[in-house]
Amino acid sequence: MTRRVTSLQVAELAGVSQSAVSRVFSGASASPATVDKVKKAAETLGYRPNVLARAMITGKSRIIGLVVAYLDNQFYPEALERLSNALQEKGYHILIFTVPNATDGVDKVVQDLMDHQVEGIIAASVSMSSSLAETCARAGIPVVLFNRGQPGSGLSSVTSANIKGGRMATQALIDAGHSRIAHIAGWDGSLTGRERREGFEAAMADADMIPFAIVDGMYNRDIAAQSARQLMSGDLRPDAIFVGNDHMAFAVMDAVRGMGFQIPQDVSIIGYDDVPLASWPAYDLTTVRQPVNRMVEATVTTLLSAINDTDPYAETIEIEGPLIQRGSSRPPKGQMQ
């Protein structure tokens, strides 16, 4: 419980003014002699600048607020880890805000964020009311939506190319010769969910095929599993299911196998995200990769440039990822036939 060492004490010991100490630590110009004296004094005293005081004056907290709703989807821990690392490299840190209920809790949380003088906000898979987006804009706090677009909000976003991804997954199913293709979609209240579905519908339409069924899986394991069971219990069953994300796809695979069906012999399953678990043998899930590292890079770049250049333009960045063909779906016909 020793009192913290201040720049004044360092100044005294070094025999210079307090301003000199400040200059040395804030990277302003100072003579080599001064730098030396100050550094030495600081070392013996164990001095480190008070980040809070600096932040208050400069108006730069070097803190980024991260809003997340849930972490159970394996996609997020990975993204969070990479985001934190990338930001730390640039001298920023992440202040975490978990929003209890994904729908409206965000608003309170963002006020809290702004109170903490964050320099920017990353909202992962949560939507913001437009009034809230406006509040942030007015306060000059850039927001980047991660893995969740929100057209018309004026907010920047970084997502994968969801429509294209949905198309690719569906096309792979069509190319494999499937004729009764169902889609357990991501939450219809989210743009990612809608766009992946859109891709599905477009690919089907292009092939002059009628979707076997489209149901909303709500990005929820239980709902997805139940939907799968329902789909598979009729007389006429789908022979392929494109699922809105991997997290649900695992539940779908569990449910389908639990009914005694073989994957992919009885039904092909394709997911979306390519989380680590997708490649583990127990699931071996064919899926559309969301390139987390590139999405993170884009997010950090976008956010930091908005912070530093006070760039007023919202950017909508879509990053394409490949389809990863694995064992949960039949391979395309004609290929290696």
Site of interaction with DNA (CB under 7 A):
3-8, 16-20, 22-23, 25-26, 28-31, 33-34, 47, 49-50, 53-54, 56-58
Name which of DNA, its own copies, none residue 34 binds, using a CB cut-off of 5 to 8 Å depending on partner kind.
DNA
227 is an interface residue for its own copies by CB under 8 A: no
Instruction: Report if residue 1 touches its own copies, rule: CB under 8 A.
Output: yes
Residues in region 135-194 near its own copies by CB under 8 A: 138-140
Asked whether position 51 contacts its own copies by CB under 8 A, the answer is yes
Nearer to DNA, 22 or 328 (CB): 22
Q: Between 72 and 206, whose beta carbon lies closer to its own copies?
A: 72
Give the CA distances from residue 41 to residues 36, 46, 141, in Å, rounded to whole numbers and listed in that order: 9, 8, 38
Q: Does 117 bind its own copies (CB under 8 A)?
A: yes
- Name the token pair of 263: 């994957």
| d(C-alpha 37, C-alpha 21), whole Å | 9
> What's the half-sphere exposure (Cβ side, CA atoms, 13 Å) at 237?
17
**Strand-pair category, 268-273 with 120-124:** unpaired
**Interface residue with its own copies, options 35, 95, 102, 223 (CB under 8 A):** 95
Among 19, 26, 44, 88, binds its own copies (CB under 8 A): 88
Residue 266 binding target from its own copies, DNA, none, CB below 5 to 8 Å by type: none
CB of 107 to DNA, least distance (A): 21
Nearer to its own copies, 52 or 205 (CB): 52
Nearest distance, CB of residue 72 and its own copies, angstroms: 7
Minimum CB distance to DNA, residue 27 (Å): 9
Segment interacting with its own copies (CB under 8 A) among 33-41, 113-121, 160-168, 207-215: 113-121
CB of 83 within 8 A of CB of 300? yes
Residue 252 Cβ, how far from DNA at the closest point, in Å? Answer: 51
- Give yes or no for residue 50 binding its own copies (CB under 8 A): yes
Alpha carbon of residue 41 to chain centroid? 44
Q: Which residue ranges make up the site for its own copies (CB under 8 A)?
A: 1-2, 4, 48-53, 55-56, 61, 63, 66, 68, 70-72, 74, 76-78, 80-81, 84-85, 88, 93-98, 100, 111-112, 114-117, 138-140, 250-251, 253-254, 257-258, 276-277, 280-283, 310
